[in-house]
Amino acid sequence: MSSVTDHEHFMKLALQLARRGMGWVSPNPLVGAVIVKNNVVIGRGYHERFGGHHAEINALQQAGSEAYGATMYVTLEPCCHYGKTPPCTDAIITSGITRIFVGMVDPNPAVSGRGIQKLRMAGITVETGLLEEQCRLLNEAFIKYITRNVPFVTLKAGLTLDGNIATVTGDSKWITCEHSRRYVHKIRSEVDAVMVGIGTVLADNPRLTARLSEKSVKNPLRVIVDEKLRIPLSSKVLQTKLAQGTLLATSPALAQSRKARQIQATGAQIFSVPLKRGLIDLKALIKKLGAMGIASLLIEGGSELNASALAAEIVDKIMFFYAPKIIGGRKAIHVVGGKGIRKIAKAITLSNMTIKRIGSDFLVTGYVQPRT
């Protein structure tokens, strides 16, 4: 008889498999599945590409007829509805699987609990909640997107120990080490979109691509917040190979302007977004991105965009890469600009903090607590 430790081991294998789909399955969830018989793994699968077979189907295909009488471990409740593919519950029932461990119930209203109910009605033993916290963390972006129709937003910054992202002259290359920069490129390859402000484009002229050594790398949609449409047509993000994956968020007054038409001629998109106090309404913008199917957004903005995003309360997660450097300067550029908070009692607070060493830097990660 399998022990609790065995069950956790097999679910951890399923979680490892699920992570392989990062960057390729959105806005679908990351899912991994393992089929076990006599304490031996006979089938493994994960959701590899959006529109492709789900994890359970890939695992069942590998197990074949041996799946009869076996146990399945799956990180997310199997679907019971027709989407891009047929219901996984039907294939599981037909296979003869007799027991299933489900990491977490699917938050998708079209599935939530129904898949489990269907499996139980077919006589399959279903146990839920195995390593649920890890399963939920894996799909934190999907959970928010499928329940609220807006992307999960991560604010990333590379900064010195004294909290600056650039010197008094605006110089910022390179604050963080090569290991951190490579890590950020990996994150870019895993999210649906990257957002920067026009100030970053004017100062750095970035590509905002995922530059990794792997042969197959997915680049995110590039979102530029530019209410006055100041972007130069010569910018790298508007050149032939990148323009079709670039979106400019600008004011309604400029969305139909001659400059907007010139930008669209490059292949880039123009989003008309309402202004709030003279700036792009970021809440309105992420609603538009959610309607496009963008489930995860990485903000790599400058000081002012960071401040605006936090003030708009759209940020879910913070990732600050601290370099062992101090630059000082009253007029150095701080990681968060804006007017600032006047009372400590009103400060933005984080929970579930973690610290990770990356090269010579430290990555501090935390989740933004809702304001009361």
Beta bridge partners of 272: 250
Q: What is the pLDDT of residue 172?
A: 86
The C-alpha atoms of residue 155 and residue 179 are separated, in whole angstroms, by 19
Among 40-49, 95-104, 120-129, 207-216, where is mean pLDDT lowest? 207-216
The mean pLDDT value for 112-136 works out to 95
| Of 240 and 264, the one with more pLDDT | 264
Q: Is the pLDDT of residue 3 over 90?
A: no
Please tell me what DSSP assigns to residue 77. Answer: P
- Model confidence pLDDT, tens digit, residues 73-101: 999 999 886 666 678 999 999 999 999 99
Q: Is the pLDDT of residue 42 over 80?
A: yes
Beta bridge partners of 46: 32
- Identify whether the C-beta of residue 168 lies closer than 8 Å to the C-beta of residue 331: yes
Taking residue 54's Cβ as centre, other Cβ atoms within 10 Å add up to 28
Residues contacting 324, CB < 8 A, separation 6+: 161, 360, 361
Q: How far is CA 311 from CA 332, 336, 370, in A?
A: 21, 10, 12
Tokens for 129, please give them. Answer: 């909640």
Which helix H or strand E contains 135, and what residues bound it? Answer: helix 132-138
In the three-class reduction of DSSP (H, G, I as helix; E, B as strand; rest coil), residue 90 is classed as helix
Q: Can 56 be counted among the known catalytic residues?
A: yes
Among 1-5, 254-258, 261-265, 285-289, where is mean pLDDT lowest? 1-5
The mean pLDDT value for 292-316 works out to 95
Q: Is the pLDDT of residue 5 over 80?
A: no
Taking residue 126's Cβ as centre, other Cβ atoms within 10 Å add up to 18
Q: What is the largest CA-CA distance in the chain?
A: 72
Q: What is the pLDDT of residue 8?
A: 96
**Distance between the two ends of the chain, CA-based, in angstroms?**
49
What pTM, to 2 d.p., does this model score?
Answer: 0.92
The C-alpha atoms of residue 212 and residue 305 are separated, in whole angstroms, by 26
Among 47-56, 95-104, 127-136, 148-157, where is mean pLDDT lowest? 47-56
Q: What is the pLDDT of residue 1?
A: 47
- Model confidence pLDDT, tens digit, residues 190-249: 999 999 999 999 988 999 998 776 666 889 999 999 999 999 999 999 998 899 999 999
The mean pLDDT value for 124-134 works out to 97
* Half-sphere exposure of residue 302: CA atoms within 13 angstroms, side-chain side: 22
Which helix H or strand E contains 103, and what residues bound it? Answer: strand 99-104
Rounded percentage of the chain residues whose pLDDT exceeds 90: 84
The torsion of the CA quartet 201, 204, 210, 211, rounded to 10 degrees, works out to 150
Strand 269-272 and strand 246-250: the pairing is parallel
Tokens for 201, please give them. Answer: 């484009």
Q: How far is CA 348 from CA 28, 153, 304, 315, in A?
A: 31, 16, 16, 11
| Of 52 and 103, the one with more pLDDT | 103
Q: What is the pLDDT of residue 133?
A: 97
Which helix H or strand E contains 265, and what residues bound it? Answer: helix 258-265
Q: What are phi and psi of 343, to 5 degrees?
A: -125, 135
Which helix H or strand E contains 297, and what residues bound it? Answer: strand 296-299
- Identify whether the C-beta of residue 220 lies closer than 8 Å to the C-beta of residue 191: yes
Tokens for 138, please give them. Answer: 């894996």
Tokens for 245, please give them. Answer: 């994956």
The C-alpha atoms of residue 33 and residue 54 are separated, in whole angstroms, by 9
Tokens for 306, please give them. Answer: 């960071």
Single out the residue of 306, 323, 320, 317 nearest to residue 355, CA to CA.
Answer: 320
Which helix H or strand E contains 157, and what residues bound it? Answer: strand 152-160
Selected catalytic residue, list 48, 56, 77, 133: 56
Q: What is the pLDDT of residue 233?
A: 96
Distance, CA of 68 to chain centre: 36
Average pLDDT, the chain: 93
Strand 71-76 and strand 99-104: the pairing is parallel
Taking residue 119's Cβ as centre, other Cβ atoms within 10 Å add up to 24
The mean pLDDT value for 329-347 works out to 91
The C-alpha atoms of residue 329 and residue 323 are separated, in whole angstroms, by 17
